[in-house]
Chains A and B, each alone.
Chain A
Amino acid sequence: MSTRRFRPDRDVEEWSGPVVRYDLAKEVTVCFFVVLLLVLGFSAIFSSPDDKPITIKSWSTARPLDFVQTAITELDGTSATATYGPPYNTTPGAGQKLGPVSLARLAGAHIPIDTSSDFVIRPLSTLPDSPALDAAITRYEASPASQQTAWDNAYTAAAAKATFDGSIRVSPGRYGPVSLMMADLLDMARSGALDGALTSSPQLYGTDYTKPLLFIADGSYMNDVAGARHLHGDQWGMMNETGNFPGQAWLWLYTMWYQIPPYSTSSNGDVLVWATMMLLTLLLILLPFIPGLRSIPRHLRIYRLIWRRHYRSLSQQPSEG
């Protein structure tokens, strides 16, 4: 066995001093009941938040024009989801980069979503007894892309000035089959049928809400509701919770990066924040192995407060020799 130089931030002088009585089982038991009492008290006094979720139905009922203006962007492929890139689609140039590498593009589009088909045409195709709608869908799908784009663009412009009086009202124009498709999609949404169509799976039990959540997030409604509840990213976003609850306060550092440049201004902000957090987490895990960092506690000297009785007892001992 060889020896090496003693390093105070890595090695210890083994304790050969006195020991005192200690009751581990009693400490754990008392701690459990103290914490239980605290938890029951907090639960009885403050309860927990449970704000109703936004559904396609509640969104299209509360803000039908926002729904239609979003739906047309899903049909023409210009929505946030349609142009998102990986993992939903392969939009050229999409996907944040860490230096020269796009990790998202390397992972690929494993959750393929075609908003035109998945959010609009396929759900509309499930509506029964609607020959006019079936004909409109057939006409739209059979038309060349340039014609579809012309109809979509015309309807997008009209939807921005549309009104709603129980049905969507747009000024007369060359919308082709799109006008009927959007009107029926709105009716479907307001009935609740679109929620079901977007979560349907080959099995009876659907548990994947990717499509309705992306559709809802593409609109303005959820964003506005979240802003009113102080949940936006620039309001320290995800770490907050509805109401006056502490939320995920332990995400403060992660959320903090989103408030400051370059993270808050970069188009690659998300991946930069994650890279920073991964690096900091790795440093924390490996702290005992990193010279310099592992010396910080010794220089901070907070340990003298924790072990003040020990140091006081040392100072009271008669010096040897």
Chain B
Amino acid sequence: MKIHEHQAKQLMAERGIAVPVGRVATTVDEAVAAVRPIVEETDNPVVVVKAQIHAGGRGKGRFREHPDLGGVTVVTAGVDGGISAAEEAVRELATKMLGSTLVTVQTGPEGKQVNRLYIEQGIDIARELYLSILLDRAVSHEIVMASTEGGMEIEKVAEETPEKILRADIDPCVGLLGFQAAALGWGLELEGEAHANFVRFVRALAEASAEWDTDLIEINPLVVTTGGEVMALDGKMAFDDNALFRHPEVVAMRDVSEEDPDELEAKEAGLSYIKLDGTIGCMVNGAGLAMSTMDIIKYFGGEPANFLDVGGGANAEQVATAFQIITRDPNVKGIFVNIFGGIMRCDTIATGIVDAVRRVGLEVPLVVRLEGTNVELGKRIIDESGLDVISATDMKDGAQKIVELAR
């Protein structure tokens, strides 16, 4: 589960991890009202207006409705004009940004609607660094990654100048140790006060990461101010979905407007669904089989419309929900049901399909491949239903048939 930058910063601030002063706004008036307290608290007339969406690349991103406007904009009007000038500039920006669509490298061409802004103090930046905490699957524990190349895409840095990436392993028994944090700081060419601030920052963050069950914390950039402070200028956090049960405070931060409504509905029904751009809807049991069903459709010249895993123990009701979600997609020109029943019995799937088709109707070709537990019973249920369903002998046969029919 992802959260917004302002929420990540709130979590960090609560633990004494240094972040700039800022306020969230969902209306133009709230954005304007945020300016005065921030300027007065920080004694800095510069503020920054930051669009809050669950995607990176906001600074370089542009609004579709306002092609000259970036998702992160610095307001300097207050330097000469005072607070009221800054407020007016923020009013103009917020009016344009709220409700508009921000397109970044990570949102895809369709972009994302901006529903909230974060108004933040301006920072006098001396250096921009990179810092993240994430799982290294190869060693089965979390690591800290740091780099002097802040503000850049870390994948690019890793590829072009791998020597500029520093790492430290976090032993789950003892956490990130003092000497590790110190070595990272020196590796980042930090000295004196800034070094001490960094050590404090990274140790607190590593501790917080373990406590919050984060999948990823990425601070890019982590800045060193001209005064030697070390703070998170940006903050990206994602949490382990499997651990959310023990973090109600994080669950409360969920912004469902950032999630695909179909994917959300599927999740609530205990299904795993991901929407894609193709024309052939898929319903499969098991993640691996579901992925390879998409692959085999592509292999025979079709394009999958979705990933859908009904899981190992789905009931007829869940199957019906899955079917409804698939048929709702207007791009879908054919459906391929591919089931290898292990725990999942083929008759359960068959009953669910028949129910669903009776309920929602069927306007596109449907190919069903059943194999495994109770396969004969499942086939009989479908045959006797009188529905217009095409049977497939195996996955290949089914994929070829549906690709042909959906043309």
* A and B: interacting chains: no
Report B's interface with A, CB cutoff 8 A: none
